[in-house]
């Protein structure tokens, strides 16, 4: 088309109105407490080694700067109050649970000051950062990226999200994970090395946070393996508990 600058073909009406060449994926979403509405998931950020006791059990120590890794948005597995089930993933014989407080971002931003960070939170939930530990250990040994150990299908089970105004004690909240009725992980969010506001501020320096982002804030000590048939019960003060059964191995 004469007279159009280079690259403007992308703005041509016939292109803008064309259909996708394959079926567009659905937006992953998570239920809200007390509402039929759902929270759409944009990105999933995870903070590593954010509890001192877990950092020590993983071979580190001290208040190092927070580091982040990511899971695909569709790795989220919504689990309602009635419980849920996930398949035991492929390529592993050492699937580990990691209990985490999860922050749901409602207002995006970049370079968010710590003092304003909580204003960007829509709500909170409890979640699990499931990890194929044997794959992670192997990738670390060979100095390769270990996203394969974290970002697999259904690797981010998540309970219903509670609006932030209903969770005033979020930074002093007891959390616990039981496996088959036995306590595996127990701690409090006040044991975090970096608190929720600091995590949001740090993450916003690396990415422009968007509404719909989820941030998994780290896990206390006690991570360990689960096998098909195990039932995980996630509990916290002020947030909806949930149970998750580990199903049969992916064929």
CATH at residue 57: 3.90.850.10
pLDDT tens column, 198-236: 999 999 999 999 999 999 999 999 999 999 999 999 999
Which tokens sit at 78? 């919504």
CA 127 to CA 169: how far, in whole Å? 17
What pLDDT is attached to residue 195?
96
Q: Residue 83 above 70 pLDDT? A: yes
Helix, strand and coil content of the chain, in percent to the nearest 5, comes to: 20, 35, 45
CA dihedral 148, 176, 87, 34 (to 10 degrees): -110
Of 16-25, 74-83, 149-158, the poorest mean pLDDT is in 16-25
What pLDDT is attached to residue 7?
44
pTM of the model: 0.90
Q: Residue 240 above 80 pLDDT? A: yes
Domain that holds residue 189: 29-249
User: Strand, coil or helix: what is 167?
Assistant: coil
Read off the pLDDT band of 8 (50, 70, 90). very low
Q: Residue 239 above 90 pLDDT? A: yes
Does a structural domain hold residue 224? Answer: yes
Distances (CA, A) of 21 to 11, 27, 206: 18, 18, 32
Does a structural domain hold residue 52? Answer: yes
Provide mean pLDDT across the span 40-50: 96
Does a structural domain hold residue 107? Answer: yes
Does a structural domain hold residue 17? Answer: no
The domain total for the chain is: 1
pLDDT tens column, 191-203: 999 999 999 999 9
Burial of 139 by CB count in 10 Å (0-12 exposed, 13-18 middle, 19+ buried)? Answer: middle
């Amino acid at each position: 088309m004469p007279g159009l600058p280079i690259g403007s073909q992308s703005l041509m009406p016939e292109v803008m109105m064309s259909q996708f060449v394959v079926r567009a994926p659905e937006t992953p979403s998570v239920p809200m407490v007390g509402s039929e509405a759902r929270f759409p998931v944009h990105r999933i950020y995870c903070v590593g080694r954010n509890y001192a006791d877990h950092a020590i059990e993983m071979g580190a120590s001290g208040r190092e700067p927070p580091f982040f890794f990511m899971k695909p948005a569709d790795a989220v597995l919504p689990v309602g109050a009635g419980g849920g089930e996930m398949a035991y993933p492929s390529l592993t014989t050492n699937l580990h649970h990691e209990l985490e407080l999860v922050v749901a971002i409602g207002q995006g931003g970049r370079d968010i000051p710590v003092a304003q960070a909580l204003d960007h939170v829509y709500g909170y939930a409890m979640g699990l950062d499931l990890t194929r530990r044997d794959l992670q250990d192997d990738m670390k040994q060979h100095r390769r990226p270990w996203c394969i150990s974290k970002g697999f299908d259904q690797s981010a089970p998540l309970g219903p999200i509670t609006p932030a105004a209903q969770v005033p004690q979020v930074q002093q909240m007891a959390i616990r994970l039981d496996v088959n009725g036995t306590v595996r992980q127990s701690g409090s969010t006040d044991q975090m090395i970096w608190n929720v506001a600091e995590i949001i501020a740090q993450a916003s320096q690396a990415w422009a946070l968007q509404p719909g982002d989820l941030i998994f804030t780290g896990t206390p000590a006690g991570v360990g393996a689960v096998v098909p048939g195990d039932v995980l019960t996630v509990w916290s003060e002020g947030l909806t508990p949930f149970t998750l059964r580990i199903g049969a191995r992916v064929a």
